[in-house]
Structure 1
Amino acid sequence: MTFNENANVGGSKARRRGAGIAVAGGGVAGLGVVVVLLLNLLTGGDLSGLLGDGTQVQNGSGVDEGAVQNCQTGADANRDDTCRLAATSVMLDQFWGAAVRGYQDPGLVIVDGSTSTPCGTASNATGPFYCPSDQTVYIDPTFFALLREQFGATGGSLAQMYVLAHEYGHHVQDITGIMQKYPNDGTGPASNGVRTELQADCFAGAWVKDAAGQTDASGVTYIEPPTAAQIDDALNAAAAVGDDHIQKEATGRVSPESWTHGSSAQRVRWFTAGYRDGVNACDTFAVAGGRL
């Protein structure tokens, strides 16, 4: 989605932290590495084991580098991935603050290379994730730029915002007790883990549905309505990170019994359900396994 250039997107609590970069064999990551890291980035899972010994991620220092700078207007958000994520967090906090009684903003850490967290190392190899221990989302935006600038992939604005909105969905599940009510019960296409991920996709779609109506303190709308191409960008991202697609790309076969996030069709279906019908359509735990 495109931000209105004069919208005030300041006020994000996003902070930068960490040091070090992911490297392959001491040099620039090759295309195979990029494919695996893309899957990590959009799923929130660590698939770095598929890369073999040639890829190493340097440990981050964990040093707080301060608040995100130069992120005050929609024009800033359109120009810079980090600012776009920070601005999106402002919108997500506003949306969920109105939808959830007693909502508390999560932390948002923009990772520079890698950094330690209570849930393990955050880096562009592990991808973005929500850590319940400190109620914080960790995301390294540099990989979006790598995909666009060196490999011709889109990594478009709405795809990036969808990724962040998905992680914020996990925060909502945490603070509302959904995670505690439906603890992880293993893997498989109807497991609680898959239902949790599909609900986060649905929550992301619900936010996109209402995002164009959100305004800053002066009444200026934050973003322009999403175009059909931008919605397709988000749907394509959801499909690309389906467990079945990832498994087929990585191993040549599909093993539903080991799914943790849901199939491509499931992820697209639940994002679409939220985008079409809003938050009330997102109870993935009430749906029989065969209809997920």
Structure 2
Amino acid sequence: MLSRGNGDEYDTPAAYPAVLGTNWGNTVESPDDSGDRPAWAPPAEAPREQRSTVRTTVVLFAVFMTLVLVAAAFVVGGLKQSKADPVQTRQPTLSPSSTVVTSVTPPTSRAEVPTRKHEAAANPLVAPGVTLPKVTCELPKLGGTKDGLEAFHTALIPCLERAWHPALSQVGEPRIPVAINVHDVKDTACGPSPPPDEAMGFYCSEGATIFLPLPRQLENGGPDLLTQLFLLGHEYGHHVQEQSGILRKYHALYRAADGDQPKILELSRRFELQADCFSAMFLANAAGRGSIGAGMVSQLRQSTFEDSDTHGSSKNAALWQKRGLTAKDTSACNTFAAPAKEVS
């Protein structure tokens, strides 16, 4: 940021009175020829020397003030030029084969940065009337290779942003860039990675990163389209929770549970089932356009999941997916306001 300084104003030196012909306080009268006193004579030389000194002082002061004015002009001009230059934001440096970062234009000033509402059930994002627009996703053909998966993820993230950013903007929530890491890392900023048999992908709010380890995606003959759409939609759903403040509230509620396992597990199910609902809602608004066929909705409805203490029963997973697919607005995904039986 550039700070603007105010240059001092310098006034032109005031005019000085003429000193020639002045006896510095003594009134000069006509010569007296009466003989009582000597005839008038010119003043002594001392006043002339004093007048010369004054002239020199005035000249030197004028030169000094001129130099000061010139210097001030350079300073003010430099400040104006600096203010006119654009402020550039540094962009992240990417490793060609490791991390894909989607760019979001940052706000131009701190005053324009929205504040996240750290609420869950009462979060504005899941209030009635907040809708997702219809989006068209142009995606490359999904292949069972590293390059094919990276190209697919790189194209799908901007489509997810186009679906969710209008909803976040509608309620004054910030838009935070998200990164994708495809390495099978052992540790993240959020702690150890879950084992492969528990998660094909996961999200870390520290650094807003979706982890999609390629070895896990390429197992069992490679990924299929619906799995990738729903998986990335689910993990991006966690990123939506982060952007809206729901995730921060979830962390606060988790700490408040103080080790109470039944409460912690119920919170986890509310959290994960909401991400399922968000993913289904995105798919419903993208299906039938571009690269996502309308049949994806039918396939998702027919999908089944195993019961999970942390992600919910198969029955409730199907319930929240259906709500996301048929939702008129985001309030259909307010799992934190649902009765306990719907998040078991």
> Would you call these one fold, judging by a TM-score over 0.5?
yes
- The structure whose RCO (Cα within 8 Å, separation 6+) is larger is 1
Structure 2: how far apart are the matches of 1:157 and 1:187? 36
Q: Following TM superposition, by how much is the alpha carbon of 1:160 offset from its aligned partner in structure 2, in angstroms?
A: 1.2
Equivalent residue for 1:152?
A: none
CA contact (8 A) 1:240 1:264 kept: yes
Equivalent residue for 2:188?
A: 117
Equivalent residue for 2:10?
A: none
Equivalent residue for 1:267?
A: 317
Q: 2:305 aligns with which of 240, 247, 264?
A: 240
Structure 1: how far apart are the matches of 2:186 and 2:213? 10
| Equivalent residues in 2 for 1:1-292, closer than 5 Å | 65=98, 67=100, 74=138, 76-79=140-143, 80-101=148-169, 102-114=173-185, 116-122=187-193, 125=196, 127-148=200-221, 155-182=223-250, 183-184=253-254, 185=257, 187-188=261-262, 191-212=266-287, 221-227=289-295, 230-231=296-297, 233-235=299-301, 239-243=304-308, 259-277=309-327, 278-292=329-343
Question: Closer, same or farther in 2 for the Cα pair 1:165/1:75, shift >3 Å?
Answer: closer
Percent identical among aligned pairs is 26
* 5+ long unaligned stretches in structure 1: 1-12, 18-63, 150-154, 214-220, 244-258
Give deviations 1:24-66, integer Å, cap 9, x for gaps.
xxxxxxxxxxxxxxxxxxxxxxxxxxxxxxxxxxxxxxxx746
- Aligned partner letter, 2:212: I
Q: Following TM superposition, by how much is the alpha carbon of 1:124 offset from its aligned partner in structure 2, in angstroms?
A: 7.3
Paired residue secondary structure (1:130): strand
Q: Following TM superposition, by how much is the alpha carbon of 1:210 offset from its aligned partner in structure 2, in angstroms?
A: 0.5
Structure 2: how far apart are the matches of 1:110 and 1:236? 30
The structure that is strand-richer by fraction is 1
* 5+ long unaligned stretches in structure 2: 1-91, 102-136
TM-score (normalizing by structure 2): 0.50
Question: Closer, same or farther in 2 for the Cα pair 1:192/1:133, shift >3 Å?
Answer: same
CA contact (8 A) 1:107 1:136 kept: yes
CA contact (8 A) 1:124 1:143 kept: no
Paired residue secondary structure (2:161): helix
RMSD over aligned CA atoms reads 3.2
Q: Following TM superposition, by how much is the alpha carbon of 1:75 offset from its aligned partner in structure 2, in angstroms?
A: 6.2
Q: How many equivalent pairs are there?
A: 200
TM-score (normalizing by structure 1): 0.58
Q: Following TM superposition, by how much is the alpha carbon of 1:240 offset from its aligned partner in structure 2, in angstroms?
A: 2.5
Structure 1: how far apart are the matches of 2:93 and 2:312? 29
Q: Following TM superposition, by how much is the alpha carbon of 1:146 offset from its aligned partner in structure 2, in angstroms?
A: 2.0
Paired residue secondary structure (1:271): helix
Question: Closer, same or farther in 2 for the Cα pair 1:120/1:103, shift >3 Å?
Answer: same
Structure 2: how far apart are the matches of 1:240 and 1:16? 35
- Aligned partner letter, 1:132: S
Equivalent residue for 1:39?
A: none
Structure 2: how far apart are the matches of 1:171 and 1:223? 23
Q: Following TM superposition, by how much is the alpha carbon of 1:77 offset from its aligned partner in structure 2, in angstroms?
A: 4.0
Q: Following TM superposition, by how much is the alpha carbon of 1:93 offset from its aligned partner in structure 2, in angstroms?
A: 1.0
Question: Closer, same or farther in 2 for the Cα pair 1:286/1:87, shift >3 Å?
Answer: same
Structure 2: how far apart are the matches of 1:211 and 1:280? 19
Q: Following TM superposition, by how much is the alpha carbon of 1:276 offset from its aligned partner in structure 2, in angstroms?
A: 0.8
Question: Closer, same or farther in 2 for the Cα pair 1:179/1:113, shift >3 Å?
Answer: closer
Paired residue secondary structure (1:83): helix
Structure 2: how far apart are the matches of 1:241 and 1:14? 40
Paired residue secondary structure (2:180): strand
Q: Following TM superposition, by how much is the alpha carbon of 1:282 offset from its aligned partner in structure 2, in angstroms?
A: 0.4
Structure 2: how far apart are the matches of 1:16 and 1:207? 29
